[in-house]
Amino acid sequence: MKAMRILLPLLLAVSAYGADKHVLVEDFESAGLGYCPRMHEALMHIRADYPFDEVAVVCNHAGDSYSNDYSNYRKSYCAITGYQTALVNYLYRLTGTYSTWEQNYTWISMRVDNQLNQSSPGTLNIVYDDNGGSVDVHSTFCLDDNLGSSASVWMLVYEDQVDSYGLLSQGGTTTPESVSISDPGEYATYDWTFNVDSGWDDDELNLVAFVQYTSGDKAVIQVDTAHLYLDGTDDDAPEVSGLYPSDGQSSIPVGTPLYFHIFDQTGVNTSTLDFSVSSPDRVPERRGNALSVGHSTLGEITGTLDVDDSDPRHVVCTFTPDDDLPMGTEITCTVDSGLADTDGNTTTSDMVWTFDVSGVGVVGSTWGQIKALSD
């Protein structure tokens, strides 16, 4: 496994914060032993009613012809003792089913909603390489907050429909990798390769990656999903993620550079990137063409935007202000709509995030140092 991480300094007086939390709904079932159409109907409604990129729904079979090494391993890891069993981010467990699919749906949706309202210590993003018969999956975990406990990264592929069974896992990691980062601003990429079975429907394959604590409540703390396009098409616009400082963070030191990541399966067209930083309490002078956007607006904070597009599918952006950020103010960062990938898919709205600045400085600075790690 080859991982990349960015090392950031120790900050003073940083408050709690985090990224939006996504959800993994898992169902464990077995044909002829523990399969209930009422639960399956509820799961299909969950899949239809929640955004694909926020809630992943996966059915794992065990003890039948639809099982595989991943589903059997995951059943053992989750200590499943009966069918059907549904889990929501591992925290909530329902063994058996209610008498109607609506009751099952209500039980699941209430817990999904609860988890969607929580924060996560980081963001997770998937890109992949189609090698014509095999697929290399690369999942990047970016920390917005302290990890707090040991965790591992899981990856899997599922098929939308197989015979009468939907959302069926077809394979995944049976040796999930340990998360190698722990502090805000760090990121690492984890890899998994699988072979595409000739019996799978290429048009119905999806990838899921999730990070799960390995001790304590073993909560799933972040999830990402991606459609697997084996014909080379990609209809998704670039995604801005891995923000540091993150949205809503407070007590940020005045000398803090800003980081954000852009992910896209086919590659980001960086010439369409239009980024600005502003504060309502500051009207700076233009100091040359410091920003690539080339315009000056009320409250704009000038600086240098470094765009590392050595991997066009995972672009790392670093903005270094010309001067210290104005203390005691709210800073607004904006990536304008129209950010495109190399296929011409574009974002249709601005990506905006804010954070508050304190008067403390930076301790032990190693800003911008990028280190390759090999396991």
Using one digit for the tens of pLDDT, what is the confidence trace for 42-95? 999 999 999 999 999 999 998 889 999 999 999 999 999 888 899 999 999 999
Using one digit for the tens of pLDDT, what is the confidence trace for 101-124? 999 999 999 999 999 999 999 999
| pLDDT interval class at 244 (50, 70, 90) | confident
| pLDDT interval class at 17 (50, 70, 90) | low
On the question of pLDDT at 231 being above 90, the answer is: no
How confident is the model at residue 373, as a pLDDT? 28
- For the chain, percent of residues with pLDDT exceeding 70: 85
On the question of pLDDT at 372 being above 50, the answer is: no
| pLDDT interval class at 16 (50, 70, 90) | very low
Per the CB < 8 A criterion, the answer to whether 26 and 87 are in contact is: yes
Per the CB < 8 A criterion, the answer to whether 28 and 77 are in contact is: no
| pLDDT interval class at 275 (50, 70, 90) | very high
Using one digit for the tens of pLDDT, what is the confidence trace for 173-201? 999 999 999 998 899 999 999 999 999 99
Cα separation, 325 vs 361, in Å, equals: 10
Give 79: exposed, middle or buried? Use CB within 10 Å, 0-12, 13-18, 19+. exposed
Cα separation, 214 vs 233, in Å, equals: 36
| pLDDT interval class at 13 (50, 70, 90) | very low
- For the chain, percent of residues with pLDDT exceeding 90: 63
On the question of pLDDT at 282 being above 60, the answer is: no
Cα separation, 129 vs 36, in Å, equals: 36
How confident is the model at residue 61, as a pLDDT? 93
Per the CB < 8 A criterion, the answer to whether 39 and 101 are in contact is: yes
Strand pairing report for 85-88 and 23-29: antiparallel
How confident is the model at residue 281, as a pLDDT? 63
Which of 263, 130, 136, 244 has the alpha carbon at shortest distance from 190? 136
Element (H, E) at 43: helix 37-49
Cα separation, 276 vs 255, in Å, equals: 17
Cα separation, 247 vs 229, in Å, equals: 31
Which of 103, 79, 72 has the alpha carbon at shortest distance from 93? 79
On the question of pLDDT at 229 being above 70, the answer is: yes
Per the CB < 8 A criterion, the answer to whether 143 and 11 are in contact is: no
Q: What is the mean pLDDT of the chain?
A: 85
How confident is the model at residue 265, as a pLDDT? 86
Written as six digits, the tokens of 299 are 């409250």
Largest CA distance in the chain: 72
Cα separation, 251 vs 342, in Å, equals: 38
Q: What angle do CA 39, 45, 50 make, to 5 degrees?
A: 130
| pLDDT interval class at 375 (50, 70, 90) | very low
How confident is the model at residue 48, as a pLDDT? 92
How confident is the model at residue 161, as a pLDDT? 87
| pLDDT interval class at 360 (50, 70, 90) | low
Cα dihedral 67, 83, 101, 86 sign: negative
How confident is the model at residue 298, as a pLDDT? 53
Which of 273, 326, 328 has the alpha carbon at shortest distance from 301? 326
Q: What angle do CA 84, 89, 90 make, to 5 degrees?
A: 60
Written as six digits, the tokens of 23 are 């959800």
Domains of the chain: 13-232 (2.60.40.10), 238-374 (2.60.40.1220)
Cα separation, 69 vs 221, in Å, equals: 24
Query: Whole-model pTM?
Result: 0.80
| pLDDT interval class at 295 (50, 70, 90) | very low
Across residues 242-271, what is the average pLDDT? 89
